[in-house]
Structure formats: C-alpha cells, structure tokens
Amino acid sequence: MNLQKKIEPLLKKIEKPGRYIGGELNSVLKDPESVRTRFGFAFPDTYEIGMSFLGLQILYGAMNQEEGIYCERIFAPATDMEALMREEEIPLFTLETKTPVREMDFIGFTLQYEMSYTNILNMLDLGGIPLYANQRTQEDPFVVAGGPCAFNPEPLADFFDIIMIGDGEELIVELCRRHGEWKNSGGTKEEFLKSIAHLPGIYIPAFYTPLYGADGTLQKIEKSWDGTPDLIQKAIIPKLEDTYFPEKTIVPFIEVVHDRSVVETFRGCTRGCRFCQAGMIYRPVRERSKEKIENLAKELLLNSGHEELTLLSLSTSDYSRFEELATDLMGMCKEQNVSLSLPSLRLDNFSFQVLQEIQGYKKSGLTFAPEAGSQRLRNVINKNITEADIFGSVEKALELGWNSIKLYFMIGLPTETKEDLDGIVDIAKKIMDLNYQIRGRKGGRFNVTVSVSNFVPKPHTPFQWFPQNSASEFMEKHYYLKDRLKGVRGVTFHYHHAETSIIEAVLARGDRRLSALLQEAWSLGCRFDGWSEHFRYPLWEKAFENTGLSMDFYAARTRSYGEILPWDHIDSAVTKEFLIRENEEALKEALTPDCRLGCTACGVNQRVLCEMEGVHE
C-alpha cells in the first residue's frame, strides 16, 4: 500500500514538510515485489537527527547493495505530524515508498541514546504494531535493534524479537539473507529465531528469563531453550579495510544537523578512559588505510556535491598516519572548494598548523575536554591530560589569535570532592589570566565557556558498579559552580538538566522490569525525552509511582562485584576481571597507560587480533 495520496494534504499543514517526502539524492528506489526481505531502518528521533548519523548510511548502503534486500528509512514524526497522522489514521510509513511499516519484514531500531526509548514505543504504536514481542503474530514484522545501547538491551528486551550486538554492517546483511531463506521455507517465526540464535552478535531476548531475589537484584538468567548460547558474544569485524563503506550517501534536501561527507578512519579507542562506554565496547582499534580513506573521501564528495568533509573516529589524532592523512586531505579540499573539519584533535604543534590552515580567520573556538577539575580526579577516570597540556595549548592558541575556548567537564564522578569542583573554576580562571598576560587587559574579546555534564555510569565500563549522584546533589554542584564562576569575567557556564541524567542512568543500567516503566511513561505522554523542550520529568516520576519501581534502585545504588548485572550475559569481549581491575586502579588514583604502549589485558585479543596492542612499546 502506498500512502502518498493520504500524506500529501498533511504536508501543507506542518512544519518542515521536507522531512517526510523522501526522494533525496542517492536514496534507493527498488520494486518491493522484486526483493525477498524488506527492512525498515528506524531512527527513533526526527529526520534531521537521524540523517546526520553515519551508521544509517552504512547499514542502508550495505543492505541495498544486496539484490534480495530493500532497506527503507523510518523516522519519528515530529509532534505536529504525529497529531495529524493520528487524527487522519495514517500509520507510520517508510520514506522511500510510503509503505505502512507493518508491511516490512523487519523494523530495525538503532539505539543511540537512552532518551530515545519512548519514541520507539510511539513509533511501533503509530505503525499499528503490538508493542510486546509476545503479542505479535506471524503476520507482524520482526522488530529488531542494534547500536551502542544494545549492549544493555534489557529495559527494551520485551519489545524486541532480535537484538544485534556489536559491528552491524555484516551481521545485518546475514540476518536478512537468512530471513530470505526462511521465508522461502515457510517456517514459523520461532523456527527462524532458533536458526539464528547461535550467530555471534545475535540475542533473542525471549530465550532468556531473568529471575529476581527478594532484595530486587538479579539472581539468575534462565534459558528457556537449551540451544541458545549462555553468553552472547558481540559481532566483531576483524578488519575494516575491505568491509563495506558507502561511497554514495543520501544527501538530504532540507537542512539537517550534520550535512557533510564523513569517512570513518578507525573504530575503537586505546586510551581507556574509565567512564567511556564507547572506548570499551568498540574495541579493538581497527584502522582503514590512508589510501582507502582518501579514496572514500574523493568518491563521497563526487557523489554528493557536499561542501564539507569530516573524519569520524573516537579520537582523530590517534590515527597512525594522521599527519600525512590530514596534509593530503587539506590539499584535496582546497582544490575543490570543500571545507575540512577535524573534530577532537589533540592539540600539538601539528594540529595548530592544521587548524590555522583549515579554519583561517574563522577560528570557531578551541575545545578541551579535561572532564575533571583536578589531576587527582583525572587519574581516577584515566583521562590522560595534564594542566600543563591545557595551559600550553591555550598559550599557543592565544598567540595565534583564538578568541574562544570551550572546556568540557563531568560532575558526579567517583570520589569527587569540593576540591575537584574548585579545580574546574581554577582552570577557567587561569585561562583568563593567561589571556591578560599574553594580550594585556585591553587585548580584545576573549571568552571561556565551561560546560558541565552530569556523570551517568554506563554498563560495560569500570564504573558500572558506581552509584550516580542524586538530582539534588547535581543541582547543588551546579549552583556551587555557578556561584564561583559568576565573578570571573568572560566565563560562560552551561550545565545539563540533572533530571534528564537521572532517567538516562536508570535506563542505561536497567533490567527487564523497566519495560513496564517505559510503557507507562510513553502512555502518560513522554516522547522526545532527549529534547529539553519535550522532556517532562513529572510524567516520569508518575510512571515510577504507577509501576512501583524505584529510581534510586537503578540510578543511585552501589552494586557489588558479586551482583549479577542485567547485561552480564552480553559479552563485549572486554572481561569483567579487567573492568574490576580498572575500577580498583581508579580508587587508587592510578593511571593505566594507553594500550599502544603495552597490552593492558582487557581480553579483546582473546577473540580477535588487536592491531594496536603495544605498537609503541
């Protein structure tokens, strides 16, 4: 069924109708009758956000290059469009062919951030698909998920038939291929699930039942079918070099958050920051060759007409041939009137040269992420940046004429005290002082922005056992900092809503009982919780009350090493022993070096070759 005729009249009544029209450059049109498997790739947020996500472009391209598969896109309609769709009884549809999503074989949600979870329920509901996997029939699509939050999928587990853990670009194609075969065989859905349960990266939540003790903690995860593995290993692509990466990406008509050509230079990170989930779950580091990256960049620009190119990884400057790569790309971009943007540079002499060259007079501002205000606390979190590094770079930046410095910190980190908060203020003050020293009192406009986020302990990190600060503790700290920074001229202070961070923490480390909470929050009207203008904390409080669940149990409780954690059966390839060891080192305020300097025995090389271990030994 094509809903085009029904959708069109709505487009004249809503904001940004270009979100819903499809038909962009490099989007794919196939005859749905000609394929065996139709996959609806669902991004649980608006078009502008989803279209800025590289993972969508990778998986869309990987699936659509297969003859038997047609992948289309699905986004969360904005609230104005949702209201009209409900009024006119128009179900959620795919952008490419305007097909109702329930006609897909798969609807695959990407789990990028916890605060998008209620949108998932809303999208299923708008699609006319029963929310719970066990309510769906043979005729309904398989509802599947992947992405970083899939490493603890438990709060959503009851809503999904299949969850994919780890690198997705090969696994998702394999899933669709097997689905095509199963479809031909005419088997039941359960037969399909059983036939794929053993694949690395595949988790079928229905085959696992969590059992809880009287204190509310998890006692056991029972398997309901013997054939399913005890531990779900994440899917790992050992080498990225020959793995699919799109040369043609969809180019949106309308303005989106990031609209540019993107090349992923490497996956994984060797730095080992103890709060960072991405740094743990994307191990090991796998690089693309410089030649490959440059070719991809060339093709992407040619096929999109983009005016901007950027590189994606967890730490741009850590690429092993970064200087050569940056030099080459700068030359290429200049020739083509394309601007190059390089995020998260480590600020050494070379980076300054690069920035001078690519930013010219614009100098958008330099960003540092010390994350913590004191050396002691930076040791705790294993963030290997010193004040000497920061001030050295700031001095250099001031000499080169930068007018704005941004600083990122987290509050509520393990072992944090008032002194650590004072450290944040001191860093900002010292930077202002440096400005006066170098450029004098009348040296012109200069400002420092201090942004503080609230620490959310994440699963699969050394801090996964740690209790989060309460909302009132966070707020006290916000006021404390605000007070002390108020008097410092030229400093702007930003902080995040404490309440959002609490809900994020609940969902990040939640268990399967939270499906009831999510359903209740959604029924009460929660959606777009990641948007401050839509987030409604009182509704979440009410949802907790109505379901009898405790926020503190999930967010503010210290877990013991012995406790079975809801995500213990998901194997990130980093061992629990490593996480415990790192947590202990944190408490001793001891640094663990970058694993390029020597293997730190996280466990990932037991599964797959780790190219970077000890390369600088």
Partner 1 sequence: MNKYYLEFSKTGNIRFISHLDLLRLFKRAFKRSGIELVYSQGFNPHPKLGFAQPLSLGYEGLAEILEFETVREYPANEMQEILNPLMPEGIRIQKCEALPGEGKSLAALADGALYQISIPIELIGKDFSSADFLAKTELNVEKKNKKKELVTLNIRPMIRDSKEEIQDDNLIIHCDLDAGSTSNLSPELLLQAIRNHTGRPIPGEEVNIIREKIYYVNNYHI
Tokens describing residue 331: 């030359």
**Placement of tokens 């909302």 in the chain:** 471
- Adjacent-strand bridge partners of 405: 366, 448
The answer to whether residues 319 and 610 touch, using CB atoms and an 8 Å cutoff, is no
The answer to whether residue 66 forms part of the interface with partner 1 (CB under 8 A) is no
Whether the upstream peptide bond of residue 462 has omega within 30° of 0, thus cis, is no
The answer to whether residue 132 forms part of the interface with partner 1 (CB under 8 A) is no
The answer to whether residue 616 forms part of the interface with partner 1 (CB under 8 A) is no
User: Taking the complex as a whole, how short is the minimal distance between the CB of residue 18 and partner 1, in angstroms?
Assistant: 5
The answer to whether residue 365 forms part of the interface with partner 1 (CB under 8 A) is no
User: Taking the complex as a whole, how short is the minimal distance between the CB of residue 588 and partner 1, in angstroms?
Assistant: 51
The answer to whether residue 12 forms part of the interface with partner 1 (CB under 8 A) is yes
Q: Which of 166, 76, 158, 171 is nearest to 115 (CA)?
A: 76
Strand, coil or helix: 578: helix
When binding is defined by CB under 8 A, the residue of 213, 216, 227, 305 that contacts partner 1 is: 305
Q: How many residues bind partner 1 (CB under 8 A)?
A: 29
Q: Who's near 384: CB < 8 A, 6+ residues apart? A: 271, 378, 591, 593, 594
Strand, coil or helix: 70: strand
The answer to whether residues 469 and 411 touch, using CB atoms and an 8 Å cutoff, is yes
Q: What is the DSSP string of 404-439?
A: EEEEEEEES-TT--HHHHHHHHHHHHHHHHHHHHHH
Cα 253 vs. chain centroid, distance in angstroms? 24
Q: Which of these ranges, 86-94, 110-118, 302-310, 550-558, lies near partner 1 under the rule CB under 8 A?
A: 302-310
The answer to whether residue 401 forms part of the interface with partner 1 (CB under 8 A) is no
When binding is defined by CB under 8 A, the residue of 11, 385, 580, 601 that contacts partner 1 is: 11
The answer to whether residue 186 forms part of the interface with partner 1 (CB under 8 A) is no
Q: Which of these ranges, 3-11, 108-116, 143-151, 324-332, lies near partner 1 under the rule CB under 8 A?
A: 3-11
User: Taking the complex as a whole, how short is the minimal distance between the CB of residue 252 and partner 1, in angstroms?
Assistant: 9
User: Taking the complex as a whole, how short is the minimal distance between the CB of residue 361 and partner 1, in angstroms?
Assistant: 5
- Contacts of the segment 188-194: beta carbons below 8 A, 24+ positions apart: 188/138, 189/138, 189/142, 189/161, 192/142, 193/161, 193/162, 194/225, 194/227
The answer to whether residue 332 forms part of the interface with partner 1 (CB under 8 A) is no
User: Taking the complex as a whole, how short is the minimal distance between the CB of residue 363 and partner 1, in angstroms?
Assistant: 11
**Placement of tokens 């070759």 in the chain:** 609
The answer to whether residue 400 forms part of the interface with partner 1 (CB under 8 A) is no
17-36: which residues touch partner 1 (CB under 8 A)? Answer: 17-18, 20-25
In angstroms, the Cα distances linking 506 to 44, 403, 512, 549, 550 are: 19, 39, 12, 11, 9
When binding is defined by CB under 8 A, the residue of 217, 243, 295, 303 that contacts partner 1 is: 303
Tokens describing residue 104: 């897909």
Strand, coil or helix: 547: helix
The answer to whether residue 307 forms part of the interface with partner 1 (CB under 8 A) is yes
When binding is defined by CB under 8 A, the residue of 267, 306, 458, 496 that contacts partner 1 is: 306
The answer to whether residue 337 forms part of the interface with partner 1 (CB under 8 A) is yes
The answer to whether residue 360 forms part of the interface with partner 1 (CB under 8 A) is yes
Q: Are strands 339-341 and 308-312 parallel, antiparallel or unpaired?
A: parallel
When binding is defined by CB under 8 A, the residue of 83, 211, 257, 302 that contacts partner 1 is: 302
User: Taking the complex as a whole, how short is the minimal distance between the CB of residue 13 and partner 1, in angstroms?
Assistant: 5
The answer to whether residue 271 forms part of the interface with partner 1 (CB under 8 A) is no
The answer to whether residue 362 forms part of the interface with partner 1 (CB under 8 A) is yes
Taking the least distance from each CB to partner 1, the nearer of 362 and 489 is 362
Q: Convert residues 464-503 into a mask of x (bound to partner 1 by CB under 8 A) and - (unbound).
A: ----------------------------------------
Whole-angstrom distance between the N-terminal and C-terminal Cα of the chain? Answer: 61
Amino acid identity, position 454:
N
When binding is defined by CB under 8 A, the residue of 270, 304, 469, 519 that contacts partner 1 is: 304
Taking the least distance from each CB to partner 1, the nearer of 110 and 261 is 261
Tokens describing residue 250: 């969809």
Taking the least distance from each CB to partner 1, the nearer of 31 and 255 is 255
HEC readout, 463-506 = CCCCCCCCHHHHHHHHHHHHHHHHCCCCEEEEECCHHHHHHHHH
Q: Which of these ranges, 12-20, 217-225, 393-401, 462-470, lies near partner 1 under the rule CB under 8 A?
A: 12-20
The answer to whether residue 9 forms part of the interface with partner 1 (CB under 8 A) is yes
Q: Convert residues 234-263 into a mask of x (bound to partner 1 by CB under 8 A) and - (unbound).
A: -----------------x-xxx--------
The answer to whether residues 468 and 459 touch, using CB atoms and an 8 Å cutoff, is no
When binding is defined by CB under 8 A, the residue of 33, 87, 186, 361 that contacts partner 1 is: 361
Q: Which residues bind partner 1 (CB under 8 A)?
A: 8-9, 11-13, 17-18, 20-25, 251, 253-255, 301-307, 336-337, 360-362
